Structure 1
Amino acid sequence: MASSMRQDETLSLSEDLTCAICCDLFQEPVMLGCMHHFCRSCITTYWRDLRGPAMCPQCRKEFPKKQFQTNYLVAGLVEKVRASSSAASVRNLQKQMKDGLDPRKEQLIAMIRKDEEEMNTLRKIGADLKERVCHDFQALHHFLQVEEVAMLDQLRRDQMELEHSLERHLEALHTAIREPEQRVGSLQMTTSTLPELHSRPHVPGLSVDGFKSKYIAPLQYTLWRKMLKNLKPGPLPVTFDEDTVHPSLQLSRDRTQVVEAEAMLPYKPNPKRFVQCVNVLGAQGFHTGRHYWEVGVGTKPKWDIGVALETVNRKARVKLCPNNGYWTLRLRNHTEYSAGTQPWTPLCVTSRLLRIGVFVDCEERTVSFYNADDMSLLYSFSNGPKGKAFPFFSTCLSEPGQRAQPIYLLHFPSMAV
């Protein structure tokens, strides 16, 4: 309130100390005989241009001479008002700038805090991922080192055994040579003994080629098959669940292929069966751990693949999205790949996908899809299933005239080595 009153008083005084000619605060104020004040330069210029006797531009009083008197008191007041007005203007401008900048400053501070939090989160995730990668590779390195030591030890023992056998073989051959030589030397050889020499049993030879073949076999493939036993998670041997398959779909005997049937099949009634859409679940469910499986889709023009909660509605036709309990990847029109979000998320896929890898981490609640041919990531859901879930598949209905093509589950080779 006091500040406002001071500003009003300053404004009123400024009006009293304003030159009537230039309408600005006095510059070197002078007083005429009529007691009116003007700037020295303003009244001088006015009188110079004036024709006739000198007069006051404000009250029109004439003067015998062009005379004025410097008013030092008014000059001092003008300087005080000018200084006060300048300071007030500066303060007012500063306040306006502060009022305008404070909200923006708060926004920037909030953005900085958010970025710092994201940076800390990113660094934590990066450290966790680095630890996980190092741990996984350490396990692989350890496995390979153990296998290398074991194989080199086996190679050494096989070589020693073969060398000992060869030494015994050589000794037997030398003995076989010495015996007839000794007989000839003692003149005990007769023509009757010659057939006996020719009929001596041959000393069996040893297979060096067999020894070589054992260790030039496809070593990397052999180790890969051994390594499959140690994969965590190991490839999930998924099979289709006959209790859930739509009646328009036919399963292979081993339940690893599903294809549209030519006519509805008489499956037994089951509350778990899909009745509206041509869907089927995998028989293997999970609610903890990490799981990976691969699906072959060949050249099918459309399909849906992913994960579904155990609780999904199997009697209605619903959109395949997380809100309805589905996390899927889909293909339409041969080339249009998208993730099952709300709305769909189009994917940039440069070449046809023949095999799809599906990875589920129940603890992290992530569902990720990969091109199984090169393991490039296609899409990842970060809000994965919470509760028991199953592999999900939909062949989609073929267009009229199109040949029905199967979806098949890829199982890795036997683990036996």
Structure 2
Amino acid sequence: MATHPDILRARLEDRADLLEATRLRYRALEKLLRAFFWRDRVRANLELLREVALAQPEVDATLEAVSRRAEAEGWPRGSAPMALLTEVLRLREAVAWAVDRRLIAKKKPELLGEALLQLEEEVLDAGPLLGRRLWAQAVEMLPRNLPELRAVCTAAEVFERVFRRPSPAAGLPFDAAEADELRRALPLADKALETLWSRLDRFDATGRVRAFLEKRARLAPVHPPRSGPELLLHAAFWHDLARSRVKALLESRLSPVVPREEEWPELLGWLAARESSVEARLAASEVLGEGRAGLLEVAAELASLSHARPVGPWNEEAAWVRLWTAAQRARAETGPDMERLRESLRLFIRLRGQGQTPARLFSPEREQLARLPSGSPGDAVEDLPGLIQKAREAASQPRTGRMSE
């Protein structure tokens, strides 16, 4: 007994929408590839070519599954679903033949999706016609449906939402949830932008298109982005702004230690956690070793004490305990960051010994160091926990004078 066409279409479920969209795309793409000036037509419609290429694995799987089911259940040839399936299969063969005909390479991919992407590269490699403008070239090289372009735009949405609003006078400009978004968005944007700039280099040997876009990326976006280059410029602007804000924030919160770029994502989440609890620890990871994590904890505590003294003896005592614990983690660390931390502690010990203690801990005037005598307490101590202990002892001594903030 024949099955009603409506029931057959219901059996297709969401596959019917995919096949109908594929039929429309195949028709349009076949016309482009059969045109006399087919390269110009394809260059102007690279987004369509990429849509077909990216969807092709799913389309092939759907066509195979629907064909098996139609044969097993004996779908009538005159039914609407069978007519749709037959036409899509025919158009697929027509597109595959046209792509094979247009490809120059001797070794051609077997899969249609890969062949379409190779055709895109060949069309872009051929270069624009004489007299084409840079912006037109950029539009051709950066179709809006590039996966990397979508990724960097997703990251830019986070950057714009967090850093577009005014920064608070005190505290972080983001909360813990936004810090987690930034932590994931920064490396995503870095990788995507690197791929997009490399794509421009790949298809523009002169480098003029990249230089043109990089210059415009410094300007704040005025209108909502629509084309591929506009999306790139919008994302690049907010990415650069986010990086500069994050860099300045980390440097102020971790001075005198200089955070490395690969450490930024983990440090953002930790600093957000410290806003709610100063006891939050920086966990060791593949990027941050145990000693390096301890070093950054010491730096964060010193920077915090540089902005305001703890209120009350208990808070100050707790700060010294946190410094000591972090110093134990970092005692095996070496390098410029460790030496800068040691110098900050030595300077504090010297000034305490001179009775010239500032109201804020660890933030004395640096130029006074040149007038202080050598051989002061703490000069012989090289161990970071030992310097912390000396600084604590110096802080507990009675003060005979106080230097203005």
TM-score by length of 2: 0.19
Structure of larger gyration radius: 1
| Bigger share in helix | 2
TM-score by length of 1: 0.18
